[in-house]
Amino acid sequence: MADFQHVYETPPDGANADWTVSQNWDAFSADEHAMWDLLFARQSEMLPERAADAFMRGLDVLKLSRPGIPDYRELNARLLAATGWEVVAVPGLVPDDIFFDHLANRRFPAGNFIRRPDQLDYLQEPDVFHDVFGHVPMLADPVFADFMVAYGKGGLRSLEYGALDHLARLYWYTVEFGLIQQPDGLRIYGAGIVSSFAESVFALDDSSPNRIEFDLMRVMRTEYRIDDFQQNYFVIPSLEQLRHVTVNTDFAPLYRSLEKLPDIAVADILTNDVILTRGTQAYVQGAGR
């Protein structure tokens, strides 16, 4: 997840200045490896018809189907060969500038812990399953890999403009909760969806949420909720389009405009929206989770 409760300013004891730690793979227990296997089995069963082709290719290239929590040393050999990205272990959420600096340098910070059995379906801080199963397959795609570098560089710049909140929404509605229109239908690629059993179904099949064509300014104005299913999903036409708009847009003038434009509430529809599915919002009206 990209949002969080507490972020410390200085790295915890035992962490490096850039907040990385050892994954300490040898210390995972049999129960912890079994937790990965359980989560993996649940997701991989339903994803072939639901996840983007790029995501499924990434699972395959990285050999994530092997049993147990992936050892980052082994995973990195494959990921580096695919796109020059690598995974670095972190103890939890890291400060924004540290996070963006890692991305800008093709390092994806991933949790060095796995959720407990009572957190099967929801946890606040990103663990190895969310980070590695959810995020890393897409990083094996060359186009998405370049988009994420551009995002990291843009993140560092957004801090100078005081525009972090706006840029964080781009991450939320693409990297975490994005949908993509493939020739053979709508698919999920956002890590928050593909790593969630219930949301993998909800995001594609439920009649409740709106599904709206991606528009950069629209997304950067839109609030989001971190504690339940999304009420809006934004649909990109292709990964190339996402890369293109992120790499080729000068965000500075957009940030200036955003200062004067009101935020858009979670389920509001604008007259300019291209709506692919108009949601009933029945899920929220039924009090949600």
Binding-site annotation, residues for Fe cation: 130, 135, 176
According to CB under 6 A, which one of 39, 94, 114, 235 is a site residue for ligand HBI?
94
Determine the interface stretch with Fe ion among 83-91, 111-119, 186-194, 242-250 (rule: CB under 5 A): 186-194
Closer to Fe ion by Cβ: residue 2 or 212: 2
Cα–Cα dist 274/269, whole Å: 10
Q: To the nearest whole angstrom, how small is the minimum distance from the Cβ of residue 200 to Fe ion?
A: 15
Q: Are 242 and 147 in contact, with CB atoms under 8 Å apart?
A: yes
SS3 for 53-122 is HHHHHHHHHCCCCCCCCCCHHHHHHHHHHHHCCEEEEECCCCCHHHHHHHHHCCEEEEECCCCCHHHCCC
**Count of Cβ atoms closer than 10 Å to residue 66 Cβ:** 12
Number of residues that bind ligand HBI (CB under 6 A): 10
Q: Are 167 and 154 in contact, with CB atoms under 8 Å apart?
A: yes
- Token pair recorded at residue 245: 């708009």
The pattern of x and - marking residues 171 through 190 that bind ligand HBI according to CB under 6 A reads: x-------------------
Q: Are 266 and 212 in contact, with CB atoms under 8 Å apart?
A: no
Judged by CB under 6 A, the chain residues 109 through 128 that form the site for ligand HBI are 109, 126
Cα–Cα dist 157/169, whole Å: 15
191 binds Fe ion (CB under 5 A): yes
According to CB under 6 A, which one of 86, 96, 127, 146 is a site residue for ligand HBI?
96
Could you tell which of Fe ion, ligand HBI, none binds residue 90, using a CB distance below 5 to 8 A set by kind? ligand HBI
Query: Residues at the annotated binding site?
Result: 130, 135, 176
Q: Are 197 and 121 in contact, with CB atoms under 8 Å apart?
A: yes
Judged by CB under 6 A, the chain residues 30 through 69 that form the site for ligand HBI are none
- Per CB under 6 A, residues contacting ligand HBI are 2, 90, 93-94, 96, 99, 109, 126, 168, 171
Report the interface residues with Fe ion, using CB under 5 A: 1, 191
